[in-house]
A = this chain, B = another copy of it.
Amino acid sequence: MSNSPPYDLATLASLLKAELVGDPTAKIYALATLQSAGTGDLSFYHNPRYFKDLLNTKASALILSQEMAESYPGNKLISDNPYISYARASHLFMLEPPLEKGVAKSAKIHSSAKLGANVSIGENVLIAANVIIADDVSIASNTIIEAGSEIGEASRIDANVHIAHATKIGKRAHIYVGVVIGSDGFGFAQEGGEYLKIAQLGRVVIGDDVEIGANTCIDRGALDDTVIGNGVKIDNQVQIAHNVVVGKDTVICGCSAIAGSVKIGKNCVIAGAVGIINHVEITDNVTVTAMSLVNQSIREAGSYSSGTGLSSTAEWKKNIVRFRQLDKLAKRLQKTKNGIE
């Protein structure tokens, strides 16, 4: 049973542990959304917002729940959780070209570095002294790994990544293109009007099963380490400053900026473009909605927000004038209430 398309539907049912209703010999070439699917495509239904698309899809088969099975007359794979089944199926239809195993001739690997079995090292990769690369790791072209860093089993480091000295990355990590790990924290001591740089002596320590999106930066600690817990998922262009600690299975969406010494708990969701000021602590199970500023610690689980919501610019201009008067307005209202005016 080869794991590459096309699959017949019976094979997919078996791979996805789903119940097949329909033609077991139907050939499936690709995954597609309900709306864009055609003959030879597998699709899935899990979100009521797409119910109309379910009725009109031209897919050759669908993944859906037992509950919805009657709404769809065609070939189907019945799953307790169609979205999870879709996630599993997605890996069966991956067309990304596989990395070549072995070490490219143009790569430069220091004699003291240790490479595990079955590694893939791309063109122009630079691996410095005392680096340890575990088994089944892939490192794509132009990536630089500085002295003393360690990359755990089956991790994948994409192209143009820079991993500074003494960084530790766990197993099954995926570090995307252009990521910068272990650059200096932004630390200065002010003397007179000038700034004296503080050498950044800590490391970055990253757990297992972590994803770090393209062009994200994670700075090394000043003295203690910057720590990213197991299972943390970080999107593109996130900035994580020195000595930040991120708890297990927390998600940080694109363009968020986390200042120095912030501690974020487990199972949090930091939405996109959020800012968190330095030394803030956020407990477990906190959601911060998009583009909020966290300017104080969050001690209770729950969802938090800031900002004003969107208006037409014309109305907004009137309202921001009033925002600047808000304390005065509130005091005037207080006086009115008290019968002073």
Q: Which residues of A contact B (CB under 8 A)?
A: 30-33, 36, 81, 83-84, 86-88, 90-91, 93-97, 106, 108, 123-124, 126, 128-129, 141-142, 144, 146-148, 158-160, 162, 164-166, 174, 176-178, 180, 183-184, 186, 188-189, 191, 193-201, 209, 211, 213-215, 217, 219, 222-224, 231, 233, 235-237, 239, 241, 249, 251, 253-255, 257, 259, 267, 271-273, 275, 277, 287, 289-296, 298, 302-327, 329-330, 332-333, 336-337, 341
Contacts and interface: CB of A to CB of B under 8 A. Distances in A.
Contacts of A87: 188-189, 196-198
Contacts of A307: 293, 306-308, 316, 320
Contact of A327 (B195, B259, B322): B322
Given A259-B253, A304-B312, A336-B333, A211 B197 contact: yes
A186 B319 contact: no
A96 B254 CA distance: 30
Contact of A309 (B222, B306, B315): B306
A275 B147 CA distance: 37
A52 B236 CA distance: 39
A196 B200 CA distance: 35
Given A275-B291, A303-B313, A162 B159 contact: yes
A224 B33 contact: yes
Given A144-B142, A188-B233, A305 B309 contact: no
Q: Indicate how many identical chains form the complex.
A: 3
A239 to B, nearest CB: 4
Contact of A326 (B164, B222, B319, B341): B319
10 contacts: A87-B196, A95-B201, A97-B129, A124-B124, A142-B144, A142-B160, A180-B214, A186-B254, A273-B275, A287-B313
A289 B90 CA distance: 38
Contacts of A311: 304-306, 324
A253 B209 CA distance: 30
Contacts of A332: 333, 337
A257 B231 contact: no
B296 A306 contact: no
B312 A193 contact: no
Nearest to A200: B90
Nearest to A32: B223
A286 to B, nearest CB: 11
Given A180-B214, A293-B310, A303-B312, 9 more contacts: A97-B147, A108-B123, A142-B160, A186-B253, A215-B217, A290-B295, A295-B309, A309-B320, A319-B323
Nearest to A241: B254
B303 A290 contact: no
B254 A254 contact: no
Contacts of A86: 189, 198
Contact of A198 (B90, B193, B201, B315): B90
Contacts of A313: 287, 289, 302-305
Nearest to A196: B87
